[in-house]
Each structure stands twice: as structure tokens, then as C-alpha cells.
């Protein structure tokens, strides 16, 4: 039993900078079904903005990149526990770095075994709108009588469910995944889709045959309309976090991170920190 416990502990241990470099490999967690940031394409290859950035991590450190692609758990705290410092219950598989972590100091404070660092992108909520369906959208009141798509159990879903005292409930078309939600817009079932700005831009970019535009009407009552995105590492792998932070700084300064985002139809926005 002691040997088994020791083995489980080693599988879930931190991998500081020197160990990652000497092993010749860095393991990077990215979310599945999270276009344009990360997903598995038809050939089975990880792709997306976060995946491309992670490949630069490997190049800068001189190591191979192994991707750990998983779906989101119940909340961010669970994601950090499963992917950064403890591992899943069966395989205890951990990543050396987790991509696309909302940079929230409260979350950072209450997760003592994970460190949130190096914001590299600013997210905002936005609508992608079919121009033939809606020539302009000034408020979400338009969707009291018009269908609108949103991914279930997201910030956008919570906002729409409560907006105008619940008057939009009959108009909301929820997709189980973002891909499902995107299909509602592309198929013409709905004339608008609420998501993060990057997701909205990706939908417009993917559905090039639909004349669409991106807009950000007022969202009274929403918890937050924007948030910076960073990475997370285990608490005793801070040196690795510093090294990856330097890579992100260089990618930003050189304009490479902007080019990566543009490849997916997304306009890169610098993180806005409090």
C-alpha cells in the first residue's frame, strides 16, 4: 500500500522548470470544445489560440508539448484541482500549466496549491448578430420576442435567464456545448448568439456566408462584462510560471499573439488589470 501511495504522489507532484526541461516535455492543459481557444479538430489534433500559444512554450523551452485536453468541471476551483495540483481520481494525470484561466485574485487566494499568473488576453461578453435578421441591436429587449442562442450554464445563460425579470426565457435557445450553440446560429435557427467576444468573432469568421456583426449592448445586472485570462501552475512550480510568463511577454511584444488570434478571426485585446 505504501508503494501505491508513493506512486500516486509522484504522478501528482509538481514539475518545476528544471524538471520540465530535463524531461524534454511540457504537459499543457486546454479545454475541449472551446473554440476558438482549444478543441480537437477532425483529424484528432488539438488546435486553437491557446494550443498555438502552448506550442510556443515548447519552442522557447526547447521541449516537446503534450496536450491534456479535458472538458470543464463544475467550476474553476474544480478545474484547478483536477488539472494543476491533484489530478483526476483514476489516473492522477496533471498538467504542468493550465491555459485560459480567468485571472481572479479571489480565486487565486482560495486555491493555495495553484498560482494564477501572466494574463495574456482580455475577454468580454458580446453578441454575434445575423444582419439580415437584425439590422441593429440596441438592447437585449429585442429578444423578448426573437430567439437568441447561448451555451447552457454559462455567464451568458445566467444573464439572459434573469434579464428583464425573466421575459427572455421563451426566446432562449440553449446549446449543450458551444459547438451545438454555434450550429443554432449557422443553421439560421436563431439570429443572434451571446458568448465571449472571441467566441462571437469565431462564429462570424466560421460562418463567412452569413452577413454578421459583433455588438455589445448594455448588460445590466450581469456579474461582469469582461475579465483577463492567464495561466495557472502548481504552487511549487513558480519558476516554471515565470519562464512561461516571459514567453507570453515576448509573444505580445513581437505581435505574434495578435497574429495567432487573427488566424481564428479574433481581435486580440490586452488584459485589463485592476
- Report domain extents, the chain: 2-122+227-263, 124-215
In this prediction the pTM is 0.90
CATH number for 124-215 (one of 3.30.420.40, 3.40.109.10, 3.40.190.10, 3.20.20.70): it is 3.40.190.10
The per-residue pLDDT for range 61-108, each reduced to its tens digit, is: 999 999 999 998 888 889 999 999 887 766 678 999 999 999 877 776
Model pLDDT, residue 111: 78
Model pLDDT, residue 13: 57
Show the 3-state SS of the chain: CHHHHHHHHHHCCCCCHHHHHHHCEEEEEEECCECCCEEECCCCCEECHHHHHHHHHHHHHCCEEEEEEECCCCCHHHHHHHHHHCCCCCCCCCCCEEEEEECCHHHHHHCCCEEEEEEEEEEEEEEEEECCCCCCCCCHHHHHCCCEEEECCCHHHHHHHHHHHHCCHHHEEEECCHHHHHHHHHCCCCCEEEEEHHHHHHHHHHCCCCCEEEECCCCCCCCCCEEEEEEEEECCCHHHHHHHHHHHHHHHHHCHHHHHHHHCCCCCCCCCCC
- Architecture field, domain 2-122+227-263: 3-Layer(aba) Sandwich (3.40)
CATH topology identical between 2-122+227-263 and 124-215:
yes
- Do 94 and 12 form a contact (C-beta atoms < 8 A)? yes
The per-residue pLDDT for range 172-206, each reduced to its tens digit, is: 999 999 999 999 999 999 999 999 999 999 999 99
Whether residue 221 has pLDDT greater than 90: no
Model pLDDT, residue 89: 63
Q: How does 46-77 read in b/e, with b if 16+ C-beta sit within 10 Å?
A: bbbbbbbbbbbbbebbebebebbbbeeeeebe
The per-residue pLDDT for range 226-246, each reduced to its tens digit, is: 899 999 999 999 999 999 999
Amino acid at each position: 500500500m505504501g508503494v501505491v501511495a508513493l506512486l500516486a504522489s509522484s504522478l501528482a507532484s509538481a514539475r518545476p522548470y528544471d524538471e520540465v526541461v530535463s524531461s524534454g516535455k511540457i504537459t499543457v492543459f486546454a479545454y475541449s470544445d472551446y473554440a476558438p481557444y482549444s478543441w480537437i479538430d477532425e483529424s484528432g489534433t488539438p488546435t486553437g489560440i491557446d494550443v498555438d500559444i502552448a506550442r510556443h512554450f515548447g519552442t522557447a523551452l526547447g521541449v516537446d508539448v503534450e496536450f491534456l485536453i479535458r472538458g470543464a468541471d463544475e467550476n474553476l476551483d474544480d478545474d484547478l484541482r483536477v488539472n494543476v495540483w491533484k489530478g483526476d481520481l483514476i489516473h492522477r494525470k496533471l498538467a504542468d500549466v493550465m491555459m485560459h484561466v480567468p485571472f481572479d485574485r479571489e480565486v487565486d487566494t482560495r486555491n493555495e496549491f495553484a498560482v494564477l499568473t501572466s494574463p495574456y488576453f482580455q475577454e468580454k461578453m458580446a453578441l454575434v448578430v445575423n444582419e439580415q435578421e437584425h439590422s441593429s441591436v440596441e438592447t437585449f429587449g429585442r429578444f423578448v420576442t426573437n430567439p437568441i442562442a447561448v451555451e447552457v450554464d454559462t455567464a451568458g445563460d445566467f444573464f439572459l435567464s434573469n434579464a428583464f425579470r425573466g421575459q427572455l426565457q421563451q426566446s432562449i435557445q440553449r446549446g449543450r456545448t458551444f459547438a451545438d450553440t454555434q450550429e443554432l446560429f449557422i443553421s439560421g435557427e436563431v439570429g443572434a448568439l451571446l458568448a465571449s467576444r472571441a467566441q462571437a468573432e469565431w462564429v462570424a469568421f466560421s460562418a463567412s456566408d452569413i452577413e454578421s456583426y459583433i455588438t455589445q449592448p448594455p448588460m445590466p445586472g450581469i456579474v461582469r462584462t469582461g475579465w483577463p485570462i492567464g495561466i495557472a501552475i502548481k504552487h511549487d512550480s513558480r519558476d516554471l510560471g515565470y519562464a512561461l510568463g516571459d514567453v507570453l511577454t515576448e509573444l505580445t511584444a513581437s505581435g505574434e499573439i495578435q497574429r495567432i488570434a487573427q488566424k481564428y478571426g479574433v481581435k486580440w485585446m490586452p488584459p485589463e488589470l485592476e
